Amino acid sequence: MANENVGKEKQYGMSRRELLGSAVAAGAFTIIPSYVLGESVSGKKPPSEKLNIATIGVGGMGGNNTRKCADAGENIVALCDVDEKLPGTVRVFNEYPDAKKYKDFRKMLEEMKNIDAVIVATPDHTHTVAAMMAMKMGKHVYVQKPLTRTVYEARKLTETARQYKVASQMGNQGHSGEGIRLMCEWIWDGAIGSVREVHAWTNRPVWAQGIDRPKETPPIPEGFDWDLWLGPAPERPYNPAYHPFAWRAWVDFGGGALADMACHILDPAFWALKLKYPISVEACTSTRMSGEGWGKVGVRETYPQASIVRYKFPARGKMPEVKINWYDGGLMPARPEDLEPGRQMGDEDGGVLFVGDKGKIMCGCYGMNPRLIPESKMEAYKRPAKSLPRIKDGIDGHEKSWIEACKGGPAASSNFEYSGPFTETVVMGNLAMLNPYKVLEWDGENMKFTNDETANEFVNPPYRAGWTL
């Protein structure tokens, strides 16, 4: 694999970074753990020692990530959450009586000198500040998907992880699974020929989008630090419309259905088709009428209830230009003619359909259950040898893959060299959603649209006073 990638590097004009990302993800370095190489990595422990792990944001997915690390035998030394009374927080806090509890991650990182690694599972808008501080202190980071809310933040986190040589992992656990590897191997085997068209979809949002900012200002629940929750985001009064969980809908805090699910669903496309930055993006979005005159609801405040985002990627080596179409909020691509009647498209969370010039492959969310369609083609297909190294325990081993990286093993499966550019591409789709009906031309390396200044405003919107990267 390593040789193959090196060969392709020049051919595809891939940067060293990409090469590193893909080769590392492919496990080429398994035999030479990075600590053996004597890199000046602060805090890489040998496999025999336990990591001291802290988690920021424990009420949601953070609880699961923490549990996986504890089950793997690591020490959970500190837990941080801005809402200590939230049932999810209380439960996780109680699970780890010995861990020190914090509300402010800054205080935690300053006080607890023995933290080796940090899990960040806060809302999207605080991923970056938390992960950045940890990395600059030489700590390894596991950051929930989407890695960041903005393109610029993803770039900065990727650069910082590289600079500080910390182990990194984005929480797109499907990337550790069997399905995504099969997709890559089959597509690279030519199972469906050249791919010029991909359709991906999700059932999200399963929370309200296309809504206006609430006018009520209920009191802040006891035990909840709203100011800290806001972090670098612009100030606004507390409302349960944002916390808990519903923050994803709001442009100031989350990345909507796209950022939430494309980090899972588009992952097989990004890897198998060796994508990086698109050359253009175009979106159209559902509108909602207020019923008062021709007024529309929720414009630029939340993401729309439903959208279609159309990305175009340039040719990569022998792979031709490809269009990736994203559908959410109930919208779906056309049902392929060769899909047997009654068969579900993808699964309940969503799916991806690769359209090649010699066939089609479809899978569910997380790269699950990849199949050539129709099924007769799947049955007739002679599968290639499994060339990509597997992650132990697959999807369930995603945290473990990071833990091993923290201890000098190969880079984690979805380390930032891969997941950083991937996140940039996913969240730039939101810029199109906020500026629909135009073909926005993207200069990925320079993180800007070359034909629309308004759309550039969201590449790196300013932080609230007191917060910096």
Sites of contact with another protein (CB under 8 A): 203, 205-210, 245-246, 282, 284-291, 294, 304-306, 308, 310, 327, 329-332, 334-335, 341, 436-439, 451
Which one, 337 or 379, has the nearer CB to another protein?
Answer: 337
End-to-end CA distance of the chain: 37
Tell me how far, at minimum, the Cβ of 192 lies from another protein, in Å. Answer: 21
Tell me how far, at minimum, the Cβ of 214 lies from another protein, in Å. Answer: 14
Which one, 163 or 344, has the nearer CB to another protein?
Answer: 344
Tell me how far, at minimum, the Cβ of 203 lies from another protein, in Å. Answer: 8
Non-local CB neighbours of 128 within 8 Å, separated by 6+ positions: 148, 149, 150, 153, 156, 157, 232, 469
Tell me how far, at minimum, the Cβ of 334 lies from another protein, in Å. Answer: 5
CA-based angle 115:121:124, to the nearest 5?
130
Which one, 163 or 290, has the nearer CB to another protein?
Answer: 290
Which one, 129 or 433, has the nearer CB to another protein?
Answer: 433
Which one, 186 or 247, has the nearer CB to another protein?
Answer: 247
Which one, 219 or 291, has the nearer CB to another protein?
Answer: 291
Whether the CB-CB separation of 405 and 397 falls below 8 Å is answered with no
Specify burial of residue 151 (Cβ count, 10 A radius: 0-12, 13-18, 19+). Answer: buried
Which one, 436 or 461, has the nearer CB to another protein?
Answer: 436
And the tokens for 1? 């694999």
Which one, 164 or 327, has the nearer CB to another protein?
Answer: 327
Which one, 6 or 206, has the nearer CB to another protein?
Answer: 206
Which one, 43 or 210, has the nearer CB to another protein?
Answer: 210
Tell me how far, at minimum, the Cβ of 315 lies from another protein, in Å. Answer: 16
Strands 75-80 and 52-56: parallel
Per-residue CA distances from 459 to 150, 236, 250, 354, 356 (Å):
6, 21, 16, 29, 33
For residue 404, report the phi and psi dihedrals to the nearest 5 degrees: -65, -40
Tell me how far, at minimum, the Cβ of 201 lies from another protein, in Å. Answer: 9
Tell me how far, at minimum, the Cβ of 134 lies from another protein, in Å. Answer: 30
Tell me how far, at minimum, the Cβ of 279 lies from another protein, in Å. Answer: 12
Tell me how far, at minimum, the Cβ of 440 lies from another protein, in Å. Answer: 11
Non-local CB neighbours of 2 within 8 Å, separated by 6+ positions: 23, 26, 28
Tell me how far, at minimum, the Cβ of 294 lies from another protein, in Å. Answer: 6
